Amino acid sequence: MVVAPKRKVTPRLMRLGMNLYPPYLFSGIRIDEISPDWRHCRARITPRWFNRNAVGTIFGGTLFALTDGPWALMLMHLLGSDYFIWDNAASIDFIAPGRGRVRTEFYISPEAEAAIRAEAATGDKVQPWFDNDIHDDSGVLVARARRQLYVRLKPRARPA
């Protein structure tokens, strides 16, 4: 039996897939960039008739959805397939109305990656927090979001 090699997902392909993913596509969320090393991502929302609330600002759920996905996907690619990774908890503080286009950035430093690997090496769960400041084009802080991931080394990769 011949098994086709597993196709590697590149940052470019991941960006395209995320931009076509219906919850992002129909919320007006765009991933502008995922760096080749999977450490950095930029995302934005452009206000449209379908993502504004009754008072004409970007719907709060759409602002929160902007931060859902990149942290876990980036960490999955950084740590590899030996780890379980998923969202565990999240919160958002709305600071100012999002009247225009808003942006946020995601960055996982080599030090943060190393700390997560070291903590997870025994097989215990690790629950790191990641933060996003969401700004409009004029630099006004619109919201602060926090996401906690669950990370655990899979049993097959744990030390004996």
pLDDT digits (tens, 9 = 90+) for 51-106: 999 999 999 999 999 999 999 999 999 999 999 999 999 999 999 999 999 999 99
In a domain, 3, yes or no: no
> Is 27 a member of any domain?
yes
Is 6 a member of any domain? Answer: no
Does 94 fall in a domain?
yes
Side-by-side strand order, sheet with 141-153:
29-34, 40-45, 102-107, 129-136, 141-153, 83-94
Q: Maximum CA pair distance of the chain?
A: 60
Say if 1 falls within a structural domain: no
Beta strands in 50-97 (DSSP E): 83-94
Identify whether 136 is part of a domain: yes
Q: Which of 10, 43, 9 is nearest to 27 (CA)?
A: 43
Within a domain: 36: yes
Give the count of domains, the chain.
Answer: 1
pLDDT 10s digits, 82-94: 999 999 999 999 9
CATH number at residue 30: 3.10.129.10
Domain enclosing residue 34, as ranges: 11-157
SS3 33: strand
Rounded CA gap, 86 and 71, in Å?
9
pLDDT at 44: 98
In angstroms, rounded to a whole number, what is the distance separating the alpha carbons of residues 91 and 99?
Answer: 21
Q: Distance (Å, rounded) from C-alpha 59 to C-alpha 97?
A: 9
This prediction's pTM: 0.91
Of 51, 58, 9, nearest to 34 by C-alpha is: 9
Identify whether 2 is part of a domain: no
